[in-house]
C-alpha cells in the first residue's frame, strides 16, 4: 500500500475523551472512530489488525480440532426463557421486539442458540466429542462504556462451545482450549496468564480468565511472579493426548494466580513473600466448564452407550478479539506511539522516502516495494510529499515493527537504513540485504 492512496486519518493532538493509552493511540493512529457511546467504526488500519488477530484465532482453533460456524446476531428470547437466563441476565442485554411483537435480543453470548443447533442435529454419543465456535459481533449494554475498545458496548468475540458425553471428556475439552489459547496469545506477542476466576452469568464451577498485566487493567490480580517465567514456545501438541493437555494445564495453573473475585489471602500468603505480586490485569479471554446446566434445561441429550438418553456435558470458551487490540497496545507502546509485535502488525515494514521526487530515491523505493511484495510481505510506502520529520512521526505513531529509510545520501554509498521500532536501533544495509533481513524476521514469526 502507498500512503498517498491510503485512508489513514491520524491526529496530531491527544483526544480529550481518551483516558487510557490504547484508546488515545487508536484514535490518533486513525484506527477507529466513535459512532456513539461504546460503539466504534473500524477504519482501515484498525480493521486490518482486527483481521490479523481473527486469522490467528481461526488457525489455532483449527489445530485444536474445533469447527467454525456463524450464528445470527439477533436471537429469539424464547430460547433464553428455556434456559432460565432471559430474566436473570440483567440490563446489559439489549432486548427488542420485531414487527410481529416477538421478543428478540442482540447476542451477548450464544450458549442457548448453539445448544438448539446441537439438539436439532445430534442424537448419538457416537457423534461426540464436538466443538463449534464462531467469531462474531456481540453487544452488551454497559452502563458506563469507557476506555475505547477495552470496555465498549459492541465488540468482536470468538465464542466456542464443546459438547461431550462425560465430565471427563468435557474437562479434556477445557484443557484443550486452555492450550490453544496459550498458543494464540503467544503468537500475538502477548503473555496472557490463566487465572482462577468467577463464572458470572455463564455459570459453572470451573473457569479461568486469561489476563494481560497492565496498569490500566480493570481487574486487580494476585499472583506468584513465577508464572511470568512460563512460555509455551514452539512445542508440538497432540490435542487428542489427554495426559499432555492436562500436564500443560497443571504447568500453567499450579502456581497462585487469581482475580480479585476469587482471591484467597490465606493461599496467597503461602507463596514466598519475594514472589507475591499485586497488579492490574486486562481480561482477554475466559474458558468455562458448566456441565449439564444448559443441556438439561433445553433437552440436549444423546443416546448413550446403554441406549438411554444422556444430557451432554458442555463448556464455553471466549476470546475478546477486538479487546485484544487494546490489550496489545497497552502492553506494547512508548511515548511516540504503538509498537506492534511482528505477528499482528498491519503492515510488515514501512518504507520512508526522504526526498520524494528525487529520481534515484524514487526508483530505489519502488524496487524495495516490489521486492517485499514479491516475497508475500505487505509494505507501507510513505510516498507523500511531506517533510521527513512528519513521515517518521507517522511511522512511529502507527507502530510498524520495521522501517526502511531511503535517501540520496545513503544511496550514494549503496545503502538504506533499517530501523527496529521496538529498540530504535538502526543499521545501514544494501537494499537487497534489508529486504532479505525483513523477510527472515517474518519467517520466524509464522
**Whole-angstrom Cα distance, residue 345 to residue 340?**
5
Give CA–CA dist 159/287, Å, rounded.
10
The pairs formed by 339-342 with CB atoms below 8 angstroms and a separation of 24 or more are 339/399, 339/401, 339/421, 339/422, 340/49, 340/189, 340/399, 340/400, 340/401, 340/421, 341/188, 341/189, 341/190, 341/401, 342/189, 342/401, 342/441, 342/442, 342/445
Give the residues across from 37 on adjacent strands: none
Q: Write the CB contacts of 86 (distance below 8 Å, at least 6 apart in sequence).
A: 77, 80, 105
> Cell numbers at residue 101, please?
411483537
Write out the DSSP string of 208-267: EEEEEE-TT-SEEEEEEGGGGG---TT----TT-HHHHHHHHHHHHSS-EEETTT--HHH
Q: Which helix (H) or strand (E) holds 196?
A: strand 193-196
**pLDDT tens-digit map of 261-298:** 899 999 999 999 999 999 999 999 999 999 999 999 99
Q: How confident is the model at residue 161 (pLDDT cuts 50, 70, 90)?
A: very high
Given a contact cutoff of 8 angstroms between Cβ atoms, the answer to whether 347 and 379 are in contact is: yes
pLDDT of residue 413: 95
Decide: 116 and 145 in contact? Cβ < 8 Å: no
Res 36: pLDDT: 93
| Helix-then-strand count for the chain, H and E | 13, 23
By CB atoms closer than 10 A (0-12, 13-18, 19+), residue 13 is exposed
Q: How many residues does the chain have?
A: 446
User: For 337-361, what is the mean pLDDT?
Assistant: 96
Q: How far apart are CA 55 and CA 47, in angstroms?
A: 12
CA distance 248 to 251: 5
Residue 244 has pLDDT above 60, yes or no: yes
User: Which residue is it, cell 482450549?
Assistant: 177
Please give the Cα distance from 343 to 156 (Å, whole number): 19
What is the per-residue pLDDT for 17?
84
**What is the distance, to the nearest Å, from the Cα of residue 261 to the centroid of all Cα atoms in its chain?**
23
Which residues neighbour 54 within 8 Å (Cβ) at sequence distance 6 or greater? Answer: 135, 156, 158, 321
The CA-atom distances, in angstroms, between 393 and each of 20, 403, 424 are 20, 12, 13
What average pLDDT does this structure show over 382-408? Answer: 96
Mean pLDDT across 155-178: 97
Question: In the prediction, which pLDDT does 249 show?
Answer: 96
DSSP state letter for 37: T
The tens digit of pLDDT for each residue in 69-88 reads 999 999 999 999 999 999 88
pLDDT at residue 200 is higher than 80: no
**CA–CA separation, 41 and 49 (whole Å):** 14
**431 CB-contact burial (10 Å; exposed 0-12 / middle 13-18 / buried 19+):** buried
Triad 108, 111, 113: Cα angle to 5°: 90
If you average pLDDT over residues 138-146, what whole number do you get? 88
pLDDT at 217: 86
- Contacts (Cβ under 8 Å, ≥6 apart) of 179: 64, 237, 239, 245, 248, 249
pLDDT band for position 203 (50/70/90)? very low
Average pLDDT over residues 290-316: 95
Report how far residue 284's alpha carbon sits from residue 344's, in angstroms, rounded to the nearest whole number: 15
The Cβ-side half-sphere exposure at 3, using a 13 Å CA radius, reads 26
Amino acid at each position: 500500500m502507498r500512503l498517498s492512496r491510503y485512508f489513514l486519518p491520524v491526529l496530531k493532538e491527544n483526544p480529550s475523551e481518551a483516558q487510557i493509552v490504547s484508546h488515545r493511540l487508536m484514535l490518533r493512529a486513525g484506527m477507529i472512530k466513535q459512532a456513539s457511546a461504546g460503539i466504534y467504526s473500524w477504519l482501515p488500519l484498525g480493521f486490518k489488525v482486527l483481521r490479523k488477530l481473527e486469522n490467528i484465532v481461526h488457525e489455532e482453533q483449527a489445530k485444536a480440532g474445533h469447527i467454525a460456524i456463524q450464528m445470527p446476531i439477533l436471537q429469539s428470547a424464547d430460547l433464553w426463557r428455556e434456559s432460565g437466563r432471559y430474566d436473570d441476565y440483567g440490563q446489559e442485554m439489549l432486548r427488542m421486539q420485531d414487527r410481529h411483537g416477538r421478543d428478540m435480543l442482540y447476542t451477548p453470548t450464544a450458549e442457548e442458540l448453539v445448544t438448539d443447533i446441537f439438539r436439532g442435529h445430534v442424537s448419538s454419543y457416537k457423534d461426540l466429542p464436538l466443538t463449534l465456535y464462531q467469531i462474531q459481533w456481540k453487544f452488551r449494554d454497559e452502563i458506563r462504556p469507557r476506555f475505547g475498545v477495552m470496555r465498549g458496548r459492541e465488540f468482536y468475540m470468538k465464542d466456542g462451545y464443546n459438547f461431550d458425553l462425560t465430565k471427563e471428556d468435557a474437562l479434556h475439552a477445557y484443557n484443550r482450549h486452555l492450550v490453544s489459547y496459550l498458543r494464540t496469545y503467544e503468537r500475538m506477542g502477548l503473555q496472557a496468564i490463566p487465572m482462577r476466576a468467577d463464572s458470572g452469568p455463564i455459570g459453572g464451577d470451573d473457569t479461568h480468565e486469561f489476563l494481560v498485566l497492565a496498569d490500566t487493567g480493570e481487574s486487580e490480580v494476585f499472583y506468584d511472579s513465577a508464572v511470568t517465567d512460563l512460555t509455551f514456545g514452539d512445542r508440538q501438541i497432540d490435542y487428542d493426548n489427554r495426559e499432555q493437555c492436562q500436564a500443560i494445564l497443571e504447568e500453567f495453573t499450579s502456581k497462585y494466580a487469581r482475580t480479585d473475585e476469587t482471591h484467597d489471602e490465606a493461599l496467597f500468603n503461602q507463596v514466598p513473600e519475594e514472589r507475591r505480586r499485586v497488579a492490574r490485569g486486562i481480561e482477554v479471554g475466559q474458558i468455562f466448564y458448566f456441565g449439564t446446566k444448559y443441556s438439561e434445561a433445553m433437552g440436549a441429550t444423546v443416546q448413550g452407550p446403554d441406549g438411554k438418553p444422556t444430557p451432554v456435558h458442555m463448556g464455553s470458551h471466549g476470546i475478546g478479539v477486538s479487546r485484544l487490540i487494546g490489550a496489545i497496545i497497552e502492553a506494547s507502546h512508548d511515548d511516540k506511539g504503538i509498537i506492534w509485535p511482528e505477528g499482528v502488525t498491519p503492515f510488515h515494514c514501512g518504507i520512508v522516502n526522504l526526498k520524494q521526487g528525487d529520481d534515484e530515491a524514487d526508483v530505489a523505493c519502488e524496487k524495495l516495494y516490489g521486492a517485499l511484495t514479491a516475497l508475500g510481505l505487505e509494505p507501507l510506502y510513505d510516498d507523500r510529499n511531506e517533510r521527513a520529520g512528519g513521515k517518521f512521526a507517522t511511522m512511529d505513531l502507527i507502530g510498524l515493527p520495521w522501517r526502511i529509510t531511503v535517501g540520496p545520501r545513503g544511496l550514494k554509498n549503496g545503502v538504506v537504513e533499517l530501523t527496529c521500532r521496538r529498540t530504535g536501533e538502526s543499521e545501514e544495509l544494501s537494499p537487497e540485504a534489508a529486504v532479505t533481513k525483513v523477510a527472515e524476521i517474518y519467517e520466524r514469526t509464522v
